[in-house]
Amino acid sequence: MPANSQQGTQSVSVALVGSGGAGVMTAGTILLDAAAKAGWYGLMTRSVGPQIRGGESAALLRLSTAPVECHGDSFDVLIAVDWQNFTRFAKEVPLSAHSVVLADPAAGAPPAAVADIGLQIVDVPMQELLKKIAGGRPNMLALGLAAMVLGIPEDVVAKVVERRLGKKGGEALDSSLQSVAAGRAAAPGLDGRFALAPAADATAPRWLMSGNQAAGLGALRGGVRFVAAYPITPATEVLEWMAPRLTKLGGALVQAEDELASINMIIGSSFSGVPSLTATSGPGYSLMSESIGLAVAAEVPIVVVNVMRGGPSTGIATKSEQADLNIAVYGLHGDAPHVVVAPTSIGDCAVTSQWAVHLAEKLQTPAIVLSDQFLGQAQAVLSPPLDTGEGPDRLINAAPMASSARYEVTESGVSPMPVPGVAGGQYISESLTHNIRGRPSTLADDHLAQIEKRQRKLSSFDFGARWADIEGDGPIAIISWGSCCAPIREAMSLLNGGGKDLRFIALRLLSPVQPERMAQALRGVERALIIEQSHSGQLYRYLRAHYDLPKDTMCYHRPGPLAFTPGEIRDQIARMQ
């Protein structure tokens, strides 16, 4: 239920549904863009099946007067262009008795899952209205309906339609604009109860971006100039966004023949001196594991973005889960210290990726960015993510001497890295256990010295305050990560007293663990609740193994693909209070 006031609602959820090809995603994107231009914040996710064309499709939006990065517990308005395949994603569009459905009676009766709720159903004769418009478009009519119900100004919507569809040509644009207008005219009044209140900071800068785009931007800000990758859902947008932009920055993206090649190509380019990245999802990450270990042993900086999807195996490619924590932290054979970080919001995908590049380069080791499908593929209107100013900062041996040793044992563990081409710096980047000069060795002393040196790089490094975002100072701690963070933040605000007895620790650095920082963060905490989207409680077990948690620590966890909602988490927290 939106919080109502005289001026309008603070937040409203709208679902646009239709069979694949009906264009509801386009309508949703325009609605989100127009809301941003009119000064609001918003979020759009999509529910799509595995079909390339056809099948189910839904644009799920939430618009708000303040930044919003999760869906509510139910949708306020559902606009159905048709009901085909609706049952396949009905669970992703929860409705309540307060919801309103706008549907065309010509498309048939609403399915039982909708009709049985006892909500208000408003008949809108969409097909009949469209008959009067040459080339009339049902998705644009739905857009007009939604814009009217939400109170998004007509001229703003028209401008966005013109900008986004203008290149389709005059007639197509005209019929789209007429369809939008027909939708506006046909929209029911609904007492204005879904009209958005003005945002408090309507003139503050807003960006419209997906987490995958943000991850790409952060990587480029961090200095990545080479990417090799193999297409995989839901990471492909990171790559497609980066490809043309890398070219303009003087870099390159190569589509490799498989993930085994992509990970090795970036190790080769990084060895040559160019900060490098690949992006993938679970199946591709599994294939890369051996060579991520190579980058640990040979001390080559690389960044691997894993946009997690449902697993194991091929799993659910188009939907989210947080069950790759174990493989990211533990998936390499041997003792293989490396960095694992995770973004705490859609915009934070930029900050965390930029940090990952910096850490990989600084520590000469792989940095894994564990994003997830929700963060990656959601589009959000948000405050521009910070450019941290961090660059690659690799320790280079610029003037190597005959006495230089590539794998010299240093106090920090980091050894100066010569750049191929520079005379005197020649060395073998070595996968075998090696001595300080990079020569193969089976000696126990060399093995120990190099293992300790590689571990020391991580254990002696000061990761700073960015290891976690900590909010509140109450005696009950919520610990979580990734796309769980947004519904947790909202749940805390829904609780009595604004959750004053709570504190939230959103982990950004998963490995190496930070026992001292966690102890500090948990000072005064009596009970803790760990929240995560994995069936086996991977985060809970990981934190239990490495941190001194309160005796009374609970875990709320379940698998994907359904995202947590604020109400679901509020109920869990309330049980702790």
Partner 1 sequence: MNVEATSALKACAPADYKSDVKPVWCPGCGDYSVLLAMQKAFAELGTPPEKIALITGIGCSSRIASYTTCYGFHGVHGRALALGTGVKIARPDLTVVVAGGDGDGFSIGGNHFMHACRRNPDLTYIVMDNQVYGMTKGQPSPTTDPEWQSALAPGGTGIRPFHPLVIALASGANFVARCFSGDPNGTAQTLVEAIRHPGFSFVQILSPCVTFRPEQKEWRKVVHPAPVEATDDPARAARRIMSDDNFNIGILYRGSRPPYRPKQSETRIAVADLEREFTT
Taking CB under 8 A as the binding criterion, the range among 250-258, 311-319, 407-415, 493-501 that sits at the site for partner 1 is 250-258
* Residue 284 lies near partner 1 (rule: CB under 8 A): no
Task: Decide if residue 524 touches partner 1 (CB under 8 A).
Answer: no
Cβ atoms of 573 and 478 within 8 Å: the answer is yes
Q: What is the DSSP track for 261-303?
A: HHHHHHHHHHHTT--EEEEE-HHHHHHHHHHHHHHHHTT--EE
Peptide bond into 111 cis (omega under 30): no
Nearby residues of 296 by Cβ (< 8 Å), 6 or more positions away: 332, 336, 337, 338, 365, 366, 454
Of 11, 9, 144, whose CA–CA distance to 74 is shortest? 11
> Given the complex with partner 1, which of 107 and 274 has the nearer CB atom?
274
Residue 6 contacts residue 31 (beta carbons within 8 Å): no
**569 closest CA partner among 529, 535, 524:** 529
CB of residue 411 to partner 1, shortest distance in Å: 26
Tell me how far apart the alpha carbons of residues 365 and 188 are, in angstroms, rounded to a whole number. Answer: 59
Q: Is 432 in the site for partner 1 (CB under 8 A)?
A: yes
Task: Mark the segment that binds partner 1 (CB under 8 A) among 427-435, 477-485, 500-508, 532-540.
Answer: 427-435
* Stretch near partner 1 under the rule CB under 8 A, chosen from 32-40, 46-54, 63-71, 496-504: 32-40
Taking the complex as a whole, how short is the minimal distance between the CB of residue 472 and partner 1, in angstroms?
30
Residue with Cβ nearer partner 1 (209 or 367): 209
Structure tokens at 113: 């899952």
In the complex, least distance from residue 276 CB atom to partner 1, rounded to whole angstroms = 7
Residue 399 interacts with partner 1 (CB under 8 A)?
A: no
SS3 call for 568: helix
C-alpha separations of 269 from 25, 135, 227 in Å: 38, 51, 9
Residue 242 C-beta: closest distance to partner 1, Å? 10
Which listed residue (144, 183, 234, 251) binds partner 1 by CB under 8 A?
251
208 scored as a contact of partner 1 (CB under 8 A) = yes
- Is residue 499 within 8 A of residue 362, CB to CB? The reply is no
* 199 binds partner 1, rule: CB under 8 A: no
| Among the residue ranges 2-10, 429-437, 443-451, 454-462, the one whose residues contact partner 1 (CB under 8 A) | 429-437
Site size toward partner 1, by CB under 8 A: 68
- 405 touches partner 1 (CB under 8 A): no
Count Cβ atoms below 10 Å from residue 386 Cβ, excluding itself: 13
Decide: is 236 part of the binding site for partner 1 (CB under 8 A): no
For residue 32, the Cα-to-chain-centroid distance in whole angstroms is 18
Q: Which stretch binds partner 1 (CB under 8 A): 43-51, 431-439, 448-456, 506-514?
A: 431-439
Site for partner 1, rule CB under 8 A: 33, 36-37, 205-209, 213, 217, 220-221, 225-226, 228, 244-245, 247-254, 256-258, 260-274, 276, 290-291, 294, 298, 381, 384, 387, 418-432, 439-440
